[in-house]
Amino acid sequence: QKEVEQDPGPLSVPEGAIVSLNCTYSNSAFQYFMWYRQYSRKGPELLMYTYSSGNKEDGRFTAQVDKSSKYISLFIRDSQPSDSATYLCAMKTPNFGNEKLTFGTGTRLTIIP
C-alpha cells in the first residue's frame, strides 16, 4: 500500500463548476500537507500549505484536512480553463531531520470552456 493515494483521473469538469480533489494517506505521522499545481513541462507550484485539521481558504481555493480520517481535499470554486493542470498532494512529518516530501500520483484536471 502506498503511503499517499490519489486518483490520477483524468477529471474533466465544465467551466464554473466546483472541483474536488482528494488524497488519502496511511502514515499518521504526517502533519504538514500541501497542494501543488503543475502545468505540463513545468515544475510544481505551491497552492496551499496546511498543518492542522480544518479548512484553509485562499481565493478560489480551499484546502481541507481531516486527520482522524487521514483524508485531505482541495476545492476549487468557479473553475477556469487556466486551472487545467495536474494537481499533486504532498505531505511531510514534523521530523525536521527528515525533510522528505511524500507525493501523491497527481490528478490531471481539465476545465472545459
Partner 1 sequence: GAVVSQHPSWVICKSGTSVKIECRSLDFQATTMFWYRQFPKQSLMLMATSNEGSKATYEQGVEKDKFLINHASLTLSTLTVTSAHPEDSSFYICSARDNQGARGYTFGSGTRLTVV
Binding footprint of partner 1 on the chain (CB under 8 A): 8, 32, 34, 36, 41-46, 49, 51, 88, 90, 99-101, 103-106, 108
φ/ψ of residue 66, rounded to 5 = -125, 95
Residue type (1 letter), 71: Y
Shortest distance, position 37 Cβ to partner 1, whole Å: 11
Q: Closest CB to partner 1 among 17 and 38?
A: 38
- Rounded to an integer, what distance in angstroms lies between the CA atom of residue 32 and that of residue 67? 11
What does the alpha-carbon distance between residue 8 and residue 30 come to, in Å, rounded to a whole number?
A: 21
Q: How far is the CB of 28 from partner 1 (least distance, A)?
A: 19
Could you tell me the smallest distance in angstroms from the CB atom of residue 99 to partner 1? 5
Closer CB to partner 1, residue 11 or residue 101?
A: 101
Q: How far is the CB of 80 from partner 1 (least distance, A)?
A: 21
CB nearer to partner 1: pick between 49 and 75:
49
Residue 28 sits at the vertex; the CA angle it makes with 27 and 29, to the nearest 5 degrees, is: 90
Q: Which is nearer to partner 1, 16 or 53 (CB)?
A: 53
Reading the block at residue 43, the C-alpha cell is: 515544475
3 state SS of 85: strand
